[in-house]
Structure 1
Amino acid sequence: MSLPVHPLGSTGLEVTALCMGTSPLASMPQLYGYDVSDERAVATIDAVLDSDIRFIDTSNGYGEHGEAEKRIGLALAAHVGLPGDFVLATKVDPDPVTGDFSGDRVLASYEESLQRLGLDRVPLLYLHDPERIPFEDGVAPGGPVEALVRLREEGRVDHIGVAGGPVGLLERYLATGAFEVVLSHNRYTLLDRSAEAMFVAARERGIGVVNAAPYGGGMLAKGPDVQAKYGYGERDDHVAEAARAMADVCASHGVPLAAAALQFSLRASFVDATVVGVSSPERVAQTIEYAGLPIPDALWAELDALVPSPEYWLG
């Protein structure tokens, strides 16, 4: 299928509705339960470069010693660089040994990413998981937000965003006026609507909206009997029960649960792009197939009736 292309807020960037997430390619078995070899990772990136997807999301902190970025760099080198119609976003992370997340660390993180990726610059750079430091430290003089703004002012990146989990904290960072894009994960899915109001408000302000992890870390792709965790952690049984009921409703319509979970995000008018982590070339093809699979309108109302109470959302 031909993927829709959307403007990313007011940045001027054009992105495909599907974005390839590269966290699984870093080979983090403690998080995902499986290893990914260099060869498989590069083949997966090759499959994305050869597909209709034109948006890749990665991070300095994906894998030990930045494995995800290194593997992207290997693939890009074989393709003689990043295709001109591609948007590649990465994220700055704390020092993996000391935990330092100062402004100086932001600058160092970005330089490490460029070296691994084999690029001179990226168009979009995120502050990654700022919940790891107090908000006051994040916005303090000499802190990470100031450093990101400086990178943009100096023309070393085109646009900056904030990417993380807790909605309330992301809203505080957006309120600073520094950020042009917001990314939240696991908080706008069939099972959890925590980020919806924030996404809508951001869209109204011209901030780009990127929704990551529409499968909730695997529960909505593999089913709760295979993946018992939601959002990479143990959750109340109500969440798994709702996922199981949703899978049954989808099956009654002949629709894979994963396809409904993906299209739930893709059909949201306030979401510019949806990040899906993939770990094999076959998953790239399957994700594109699920994005275009016909889904009857009646199914959405049935799924909405099964959403767990907000008390079970990540928030």
Structure 2
Amino acid sequence: MTLAKSVDQNEYKPFELSFGAGALSGAYNSIEDHWPVEACREALRLGINSFDTSPYYGKSEFILGDALQAIKDEFPRSSYYISTKVGRYGYSVKDFDYSAERVTASVEESMKRLHTDYLDIVFCHDVEFVPFEHVVGPNCALEALFRLKDQGKIKYVGVSGYPLEVLLRIAEHQSAQGRPLDIVLSYCHYTLQNTMLAKYTPQFRAAGVRYVLNASPLGMALFREAGPPDWHPAHPPLREAAHKCASLAKENGLNISELASMFAFAGRDAFNLTSTVIGLQKKEEVRTAIDAWQLVKQREQGTQTVPQVEANVMAQITDLLRPFKDFSWQSPSAKEMADPSQ
């Protein structure tokens, strides 16, 4: 008999932290076979009840689906939310397909990989890569997703991407059409370096968006001791500044990833954010994320204070990042726009 608590089926009520399963793709570093099951079990035991993935994230859907299937006796499908994406299936713009036919097939494929007969959330993935009409037009992505919602196969329809102005344009269009988006997923826009999501969230709400998620609070690994992966879109000056931030933190007995996580978690209540999606690979990372979140909560409640050394380091980090404050890199990049066949 399981003690797992069922999630609300009529309202999306995720924990303040969500499990970013893109980290299970191996794009950031290689993972051990036993990590996903252990990480998912630890996450659910500690209260995290929402998992985010995509067909674009390598084998992430397969790995996440198998991991959740392995612990179904303790945590049945009713005890968590799953979000995935449609439309993006490779690196370049040539690997996108926002047609209603492909979107519908993609949802079915994802359900099979994830061992489920319904999906809580489906996002149009990286909407800035395709023409606006491919997202909102007839016989295109959102039309197909709302049809699947009407059929009960998915519960919430959303869009994800990097440029906030693109996400907002789609949200406002859908509101004007009388079928507002349920949810928006933004990434790398509430971090130590860029907090623009706080300014856009009220506009999303005004357009009828019920839920707003912040993904990649570490800036897609920009703020970690090992530094970002080679493919990261940040330009060299920003990379160098982030490296200096990591070194400064380490010199003072702190960890840049934990500082970046706490910064993002602390912003949640300030602009009514639904949840922060953070990439997790193993149970130790789950515990570290929960510990950081709990510390933020204790500070908000006044039961813990910020150590002076941390306050000093954060002030210096702010200075190091000031030249890049709210800078957003190009998306799609020139490389992603190129036709690989030519």
Same structural fold, with TM-score higher than 0.5 when normalized by the shorter chain: yes
1:307 alignment counterpart: 322
Given residue 169 of structure 1, which amino acid in structure 2 is its aligned partner?
V
* Residue 75 in structure 1 maps to residue 55 in structure 2: no
Query: Which entry has the higher C-alpha Rg, 1 or 2?
Result: 2
Measured after TM superposition, the shift of residue 206 of structure 1 is: 5.0
Given residue 155 of structure 2, which amino acid in structure 1 is its aligned partner?
D
CA distance, structure 1, for counterparts of residue 201 and residue 231 of structure 2: 18
User: How has the CA–CA distance of structure 1 residues 249 and 282 changed in structure 2, closer, same or farther, with 3 Å as cutoff?
Assistant: closer
Given residue 258 of structure 1, which amino acid in structure 2 is its aligned partner?
S
User: How has the CA–CA distance of structure 1 residues 188 and 199 changed in structure 2, closer, same or farther, with 3 Å as cutoff?
Assistant: same
Measured after TM superposition, the shift of residue 25 of structure 1 is: 0.6
The counterpart of 1:159, out of the listed 156, 167, 185, is 156
Trace 1:278-297 onto structure 2 (pairs within 5 A).
278-293=280-295, 296=306
Q: Which moved more, 1:107-116 or 1:237-246?
A: 237-246
The total of aligned residue pairs comes to: 296
Given residue 147 of structure 1, which amino acid in structure 2 is its aligned partner?
A
Give unmatched runs, 5+ long, in structure 1. Answer: 1-6
Measured after TM superposition, the shift of residue 194 of structure 1 is: 3.2
1:36 alignment counterpart: 31
The counterpart of 1:134, out of the listed 111, 115, 131, is 131
Measured after TM superposition, the shift of residue 139 of structure 1 is: 1.4
CA distance, structure 1, for counterparts of residue 164 and residue 79 of structure 2: 31
2:337 alignment counterpart: none
Q: Which moved more, 1:138-147 or 1:242-251?
A: 242-251
Q: Is the 8 A contact 1:189 1:264 kept in 2?
A: yes
Q: Which moved more, 1:107-116 or 1:303-312?
A: 303-312
Map Cα deviations across residues 180-233 of structure 1 (whole Å, 9 max, x no partner): 1111111211111233321232245453110000111212122xxx31569922
User: How has the CA–CA distance of structure 1 residues 209 and 307 changed in structure 2, closer, same or farther, with 3 Å as cutoff?
Assistant: farther
Map Cα deviations across residues 104-134 of structure 1 (whole Å, 9 max, x no partner): 1111110001001110101211111112211
Trace 1:209-248 onto structure 2 (pairs within 5 A).
209-222=212-225, 226-228=226-228, 232-238=232-238, 240-241=240-241, 244-245=244-245, 248=248
1:48 alignment counterpart: 43
Q: Is the 8 A contact 1:95 1:101 kept in 2?
A: no
Map Cα deviations across residues 128-171 of structure 1 (whole Å, 9 max, x no partner): 11122111222111010111111112222111111111111111
* Residue 207 in structure 1 maps to residue 210 in structure 2: yes
User: How has the CA–CA distance of structure 1 residues 70 and 309 changed in structure 2, closer, same or farther, with 3 Å as cutoff?
Assistant: closer
2:22 alignment counterpart: 23
* Residue 119 in structure 1 maps to residue 113 in structure 2: no
Q: Is the 8 A contact 1:16 1:53 kept in 2?
A: yes
Q: Which SS does the other structure have where 2:34 is aligned? A: helix
Q: Is the 8 A contact 2:81 2:120 kept in 1?
A: yes
CA distance, structure 1, for counterparts of residue 213 and residue 263 of structure 2: 14
Q: Which SS does the other structure have where 2:224 is aligned? A: helix
Trace 1:160-179 onto structure 2 (pairs within 5 A).
160-175=157-172, 176-177=174-175, 178-179=180-181
CA distance, structure 1, for counterparts of residue 209 and residue 159 of structure 2: 14
CA distance, structure 2, for counterparts of residue 53 and residue 168 of structure 1: 30
